[in-house]
Chain A
Amino acid sequence: MIPLSWYLILAALLFCIGLYGVLARKNAVAILMSVELMLNAVNINLVAFWRYFTPGNISGHAFAVIVFVVAAAEVAVGLALIISIYRRRKTVAADEINLMKW
């Protein structure tokens, strides 16, 4: 039997690795990937809470599915933006895309 804490700690660590990736990586695609890690950490928590506290109610699944949908939408738009930026600026490094910076 696995106590709930194992899942929560794993999810916390995964979330923080993702957070580090988002803050520290240069490449915009890598930042998007790190965001996916964070979303997955959230999903682990959602499903673990569903299994441990309300297995009779399907809401945990519904939440997780909506997170999937948001992740897919986010990646589609994000990658389209990155490709569009790459065409104009010939770079995908997030700190070189600084036209709007003052």
Chain B
Amino acid sequence: MSFWSDPIRVANEWLNGLLTDLLPQAWATLIGNVIGVVVVSSFGLILVIFLIWLERKVAARFQDRIGPNRAGPYGLLQTIADIVKLLTKEDSIPEKADKVTFNLAPIVSMIAVLLIWAVIPFAPGWIGTDLNVGVLYIAAVGSFGILSILMAGWASNNKYALLGAFRAVAQLISYEVPMLLTLLVPVLLARSMGMMHIVHDQSLWFIVLAPVAGVIFLVSSIAEVGRTPFDLIEAESEIVAGYHTEYTGMKFGLFFAAEFLHAFTVGVLFAILYLGGWRGPGAEQYPILGMVYLIAKSSIGYFIVMWVRSTLPRIRIDQMLDLNWKVLTPISLALLILTAILDKMFAETALRAPVLLGANVLVVVLSWAIIRVLSRRSRRERKVFKKRPEARAV
């Protein structure tokens, strides 16, 4: 196998050979693992530099602007300039803040996102660690993100930061429910929680078998990231900047970078769970092609996230909770149960795909009808407003 078709494996074998020559086996494995961790996490961190530029460009196009175009060709070095600016800013800590927690929060928020990358299958054989509970692992490390927001909001000792943290917990914990339920749908279809296994099982993309679950996953993931239209946690017109009100310089930069990386990670997860991951013509022989396919497919999800962000206004907090508990959660519960039953009944038959697709359509039609009926009834029951008290000159 040549270097260009599978650079990671070749590099890995070379490194392994080198290390086992120099060191005892246990140390070689340990150092090999540490190097793997460093490679995967620096890939994520370097990606952020590019992502911020990309998002600013795309958002600019949506708003009929040009976007960053001064630093470097096409403004590519804009993010580097921003980083330099952030690094040279004064690092201010509020006097009454809880110092340790305050400084720890941005780190935890970045770690929470980077940990997800440990189980992302980039291409055949390219995976940090192929846990057999990979999907559950993603759910577990996601909770560190909530923790970091709570830490930041509380440690700042600022009213608005604390309000932002309260909102964040209400939103993130609520949207974790439909996200987890729709994470389970691909698990049911692939009959495994391992990420590699899920990708291998998608000779037919799961978006065909479970389109509604895919959409719900994307929506609730956007809410998990806390982007517009779900950016109530940092709504600048209401609570200044939410949990990161008191943060300056690179600490704010870490929160910012974590959010961008998380948004792209949502695209990657969507691609892996519903769009077939690295699968594509020739990916098995040439793993580097698989990486290209994965990036291309992730860009679809990421583009939708950006599109939604630049199009929709922020929703109200009661709308946010209503959407989750009255729409997304019941639909994803129904989908999960239907998928479990139908997939078992029609396993290994040609009818599997059409039946599952039909069930999805049925769920959408039924829930739409229920929502229509309920909203009409509530409109009928809505009382006529009382006459408002008027201000009069006495």
Touch test A–B (CB under 8 Å) = no
